[in-house]
Structure formats: C-alpha cells, structure tokens
Amino acid sequence: MKVSEEIRSLIPYKPGKPIEETKRDYNLTEVVKLASNENPLGPSPKVLSAIQEALPEIHRYPDASCFQLSEKLSGKLGIDKNQIVFGNGSNELIDLVIRVFCEPGSRVLMSDKSFIAYKICAQAARVETKEFAMGNDLKIDASGIAEYFETTNDPKDRVLFIANPNNPTGSYMGNEEILRICEATKGRDNFMVILDEAYNEFVRAPDYPDALELVKKYKHVVNMRTMGKVYGLAGIRIGYMIAHPEHCDYIHRVRNPFNVNSLAQVAALAALDDQDYLQKAQQTNWAGLDYFYNELESLRLPFIRSEANFVLFDSRRNGGQFTEELLKKGLIVRPMAGYGLPRHIRLSVGLESENQFAMKRIKEVLDILPEESH
C-alpha cells in the first residue's frame, strides 16, 4: 500500500502514561497522575446523575444538531446558535478546521512550542506547517508573529493557531498582543486566526483578551474551547468553537453527523449548569498553582507563571531521567524533550494531597540526580 510521505513521517501523539499501566510496570499500589491537565476533582455529581438518567436511551443515535446544548451555550455566552459548533473534544475541531479550510499547498502556522495537535493534524491533511520560534522567556513571540503578517502576505498561509494560554508553557498573550495579530491579518481573503482557549476559565491575568468580542469584531477570528479541562469531561470528549456563521456552516458539512455522543451532550448540559463545580475547580487550581510556585521557588527551580492548570519548570537535570525516577516513585508527569526542552517538566495541578505528594517526590529525585549546567 502506498502511503504518503506526510503520513509515513507522522509521529503519533504521546499521551500521559495511564495510572493502571504505571502500577503494573513499576509494581506500585499508589500512583498519582499529574501529566494530562485533567480535572483532579473528578466529574461533578450532577453530571454523573445526568448520564445515569440518559443511559437507557443509548440505543438511539445522538441528536446530530446538539439542539439543547446549543441553546444553553448560546444563552450563556450571548452568541447566536449558528456561530457554535460542538466537536468530539476541541481536538476534533482543530482537525476539521484544517481539513475544511486548507488544501494541498496551503500552510498552517503556529508557535514551535505549542499544542502538538496543530502539527499532527496539518501533517495528516498533507498541509505544510510554519513554526514561529519562541524566545528564551518561553512565551509565544507575539510581536514576531505580528511583524511577519505586517510584512508578508503569502497566499499559502491559511490558518494561524494560537493556544492562549499556551500548552505546554502556561504563558498567555494579552489583549494588545492578540489585537495586533488580528489587525495584521484582517481583510485577507483566505485566512483564519484560531484562538484556542482550552484553559480559558483558569486565567487570572486582567488583560486576557475577550475572544467572543474578537469573534464578533473580526470575521476571520475563531475561538475554540473545551469542556475537558475545567468542567472535568476529558474522557467523554466534548469541545466547541465559536466562529462566523459562514465558517460554522462549512464545518457542519464536513463533520461526522454524530460526532458528539448522547452521553457527552447530557453531561455537558449538566456541567454548564453547575457553577459550584466550576468555582471549586478554579479555586483548587489557583491554590495548587500558588503552592507549586512557593515550593519551586524554595527549591530554586525556574518556572513559568501559568494561566492554565499546570506549571512548566526547569528541573536543571535530564528531564527524561527525572520523569523516569518520578515514575518509580509513583508520580506521572510530562517530560518536554519533544518540545526542545530537555530539562523541563510539565506538572499538572492536582488535589492538595496530590500536590504535596508530587513535591515530596520531586525533592527526593532532586537529591539523587546530578544537576546539569546550561
């Protein structure tokens, strides 16, 4: 079977190591996973009972239009229903945007240390990529990106992905920076800026942009969000995009009609109503981040202030070895060598007890591994 070069050279997405597998491989009884930016609270009880109630109907196909969910979200965000598309996680929407708005010879643009799905989906669609290099501050180079578009108008360029806050760094772009990029790219015939806000609800920065206003102001701006992170629905797969109705219409034509399963629809509906859960998730996260900052400071490990639910830090040691030693002690984290950060570790925020477990294990490993110089 002939397979294209793009597919043959695809490096598959590497998810965080599952808990059960880690227990088996390392002969452990207690394992804490802080590797996939999951919500440590577990699902909301309201979500669980909504799913229970819906179970007897799973022999039916789901509502292909996500009618009730669209109504609810539309009311909540003040956005017209024809500007919303739900997906099987926002990951599916990333894939769809590229498939719908790019063709062979097009190019998708992104930062070099950003969510890896942009690159994988582009390559799978046989579409070229251009990566903007990040500076030493490990922030997306907003002015570099703006300057590129202010001075270049290459018809190959079709879609720019900006993860804001960015995964895996946790850094964010402020309103001014995003506005400059929107201005530099507006009025182009075939160009789109995707503001991927998977961590939107965790942001504390006062100058974080209002993406919904930007979608209203600029036809070429698309906002993506997920219910997998702050709402704790990662396993049931649901995310959404907000965009100009014309763009949504094209996505609807291409998507699988039943891309959002019936349990995901009722789960999301219940989750959107559970403000207490949302607030608890935010408070848990912010307290956890502040705890990590204090601990990392006292250990003199450099880290980046995060607007998301994880923190990226420099272990000053070989990150692969560091991760391996932590695994032996029952802590799963994410090494970052794949992003060109051979000493960095991405640590998700857990429950208070899990965060304490993590710092204890990290301290133990700091003592057994030699420090590396720059």
Ligand X SMILES: *Cc1c(COP(=O)(O)O)cnc(C)c1O
DSSP-assigned letters across all residues of 155-185: TTEEEEEEESS-TTT-----HHHHHHHHHHH
Structure tokens at 237: 């797969």
Instruction: Determine, following the binding rule CB under 6 A, whether residue 90 of this chain makes contact with ligand X.
Output: yes
Instruction: Determine, following the binding rule CB under 6 A, whether residue 169 of this chain makes contact with ligand X.
Output: no
Distance CA 57, CA 235 (A): 20
Distance CA 226, CA 90 (A): 6
Using the rule CB under 6 A, give the single segment among 9-17, 84-92, 139-147, 278-286 that binds ligand X.
84-92
Instruction: Determine, following the binding rule CB under 6 A, whether residue 115 of this chain makes contact with ligand X.
Output: yes
- Judged by CB, which is closer to ligand X: 86, or 357? 86
- Least separation in angstroms between residue 226's CB and ligand X is 3
Give the residue among 256, 312, 257 at the shortest CA–CA distance from 65.
257
Which position's Cβ is nearest ligand X?
A: 89
Decide the pairing of beta strands 331-332 and 32-33.
parallel
Exactly one of 38, 141, 157, 196 binds ligand X (CB under 6 A); which one? 196
Instruction: Determine, following the binding rule CB under 6 A, whether residue 89 of this chain makes contact with ligand X.
Output: yes
Burial class (CB in 10 A: 0-12, 13-18, 19+), 4: exposed
Instruction: Determine, following the binding rule CB under 6 A, whether residue 69 of this chain makes contact with ligand X.
Output: no
CB 170 within 8 A of CB 312: yes
Q: Which of residues 6-35 bind ligand X (CB under 6 A)?
A: none
Using the rule CB under 6 A, give the single segment among 49-57, 86-94, 214-222, 345-353 that binds ligand X.
86-94
Structure tokens at 15: 């998810």
Exactly one of 232, 239, 330, 335 binds ligand X (CB under 6 A); which one? 239
- Judged by CB, which is closer to ligand X: 129, or 190? 129
- Least separation in angstroms between residue 316's CB and ligand X is 25
Instruction: Determine, following the binding rule CB under 6 A, whether residue 198 of this chain makes contact with ligand X.
Output: yes
For residue 68, count other CB atoms closer than 10 A to its CB.
13
Instruction: Determine, following the binding rule CB under 6 A, whether residue 163 of this chain makes contact with ligand X.
Output: yes
Instruction: Determine, following the binding rule CB under 6 A, whether residue 203 of this chain makes contact with ligand X.
Output: no
Question: Total residues contacting ligand X (rule CB under 6 A)?
Answer: 12
Instruction: Determine, following the binding rule CB under 6 A, whether residue 226 of this chain makes contact with ligand X.
Output: yes
Q: In what order do the strands lie in the sheet with 334-335?
A: 310-314, 344-348, 334-335
Report CA torsion sign: 214, 218, 221, 222.
positive
Instruction: Determine, following the binding rule CB under 6 A, whether residue 111 of this chain makes contact with ligand X.
Output: no
- In the complex, the residues that contact ligand X under the rule CB under 6 A are 89-91, 115, 163, 167, 196, 198, 226, 228, 234, 239
